[in-house]
Amino acid sequence: MGTGNSMSSNSLPAIVVVGYNRPDSLQRLLDSLNLANYQLDNIDLVISLDFCSGSLGGSTRKVAESFNWQHGKKRVILQTKNIGLRNHVLACGDLTKSYGAIILLEDDLSVGPDFYQFAKDALEFSGQQQSIGGVSLYNHQTNFLNHLPFEPIFDGYDNFYLQIASSWGQAWSRAQWTSFRSWYEEVEKSEHDNLASGTVPDGTVPKAVMNWPPTSWLKYFIRYLVATDKFFLYPHHSQTTNHSDSGTHIDKPNNRWQVPLAMRNNSLRFSSPAESLAVYDSHFELLQEKLKQLAPILNEFDFDVDLFGVKDPASFRQPYVLTSKKPSTHQLQFELVRKPIPVNFLKATPDSKRPTFYLCKTQGTSFESGLSLNNISEVEYFYGHLPIRTLLKNTFRYFLQKRK
């Protein structure tokens, strides 16, 4: 069932909203879409709802059908049976066949005023780059693998790159989505059991990602990016934010993934992965070749990068590793005192009594745990803007509230 035409009447990216049974969340997102800037009034909006038989499903359908889209044509797609989040997103991605390019938004998001221009410009730019697998509208400020702050290098451009697909606001061209879909269908035939169980043949995708539930489409896309050596283009200033409402993957609502929204985008300047200094792998780690450009002291070594200390040592492929895991022996050591993290490698600190990072051989070396806020220097580095007394007091209050 739908309203409006099923084919795009123009070459502009269509906005595709994914919903299920959260009427209030859907209304909040749709309201933010109406308030955004478009410059044109021929933007196609598709609201796709998975089937839900309860009262929440009925309320959600009412929100979708009654919404007055002020910037173009609206189409509502109602699934006749419940297909689950993964299949729902896959079906919405397939709308690139009809619309050429889409901006996909799940219903627990809000958008910034200029999100559409960013997505449109980034799609146009990325279409010229074979190594870009999609565009994110969200800016990760937390490494979700260990929940420590993540601060990408600013190199003068409006974007950086992560080998992690975005699920909190993303855009694909038809070519980008078709490439993923072809890979996905082949992998489903040959490796579906491996992907579902969480075992990763090459060890380059985080174990935590592959252990996400079967409803996750995102873990498949991250595996695709790693397998094909592609990256997602991310904004330095977030164009969406995540309200983390209760839903398929969230039991209790929280503000953990809220980020500041960009209120205005001026002339955007994008870099390719080759031009950018800020290119990160699937573990939020800066690529070795980019780190060497920043820290010439490392040029004589070939090394894996494990600054957050999340990678499995069995996945190390280079003769050396630069890691926060304390090794049994090492060649160089570095303190954690400057921001962003890669700036700490401009100079080794052999006499430091509180080193955080080590360059060591991967073979014949045993490792302890990596960054985990187990010492005061790491706490001060990430959260030093808070007085220790305030930090301890609020942490105590937090755990008391969590127990209620």
Q: How far is CA 201 from the centre of its chain?
A: 23
Look at residue 10 in the predicted model and tell me its pLDDT.
63
The two tokens of residue 102 are 């889409």
Q: How many Cβ atoms from other residues are within 10 Å of residue 115's Cβ?
A: 29
Q: Which amino acid is at 21?
A: N
Look at residue 363 in the predicted model and tell me its pLDDT.
94
Low-confidence ranges of the chain (pLDDT < 70): 1-10, 191-203, 246-253, 386, 388, 391, 398, 401-404
Residue at 231 is within a domain: yes
Same-domain pairing of 238 and 330: no
Look at residue 387 in the predicted model and tell me its pLDDT.
74
Residue at 277 is within a domain: no
Residue 59, CA distances (Å) to 24, 53, 141 in order: 9, 10, 34
Same-domain pairing of 35 and 119: yes
Residue at 371 is within a domain: no
Same-domain pairing of 295 and 188: no
Look at residue 200 in the predicted model and tell me its pLDDT.
53
Look at residue 158 in the predicted model and tell me its pLDDT.
98
Same-domain pairing of 328 and 232: no
Residues 6+ apart with CB under 8 A from 202: 226, 315
Same-domain pairing of 212 and 316: no
For residue 404, give the H/E element and its range: none
Look at residue 7 in the predicted model and tell me its pLDDT.
46
Same-domain pairing of 220 and 289: no
Note if the pTM is more than 0.75: yes
Q: How many Cβ atoms from other residues are within 10 Å of residue 44's Cβ?
A: 26
Same-domain pairing of 306 and 206: no
Same-domain pairing of 308 and 237: no
Number of domains, the chain: 2
Same-domain pairing of 38 and 129: yes
> What beta strand segments (E) does 131-190 contain?
132-136, 142-143, 148-149, 159-162, 170-173
Look at residue 63 in the predicted model and tell me its pLDDT.
98
Look at residue 253 in the predicted model and tell me its pLDDT.
67
Look at residue 204 in the predicted model and tell me its pLDDT.
86
Residue 330, domain extent: 285-361
Residue ranges in 277-336 assigned as alpha helix (H): 288-294
Q: Are 41 and 120 in contact (CB under 8 A)?
A: no
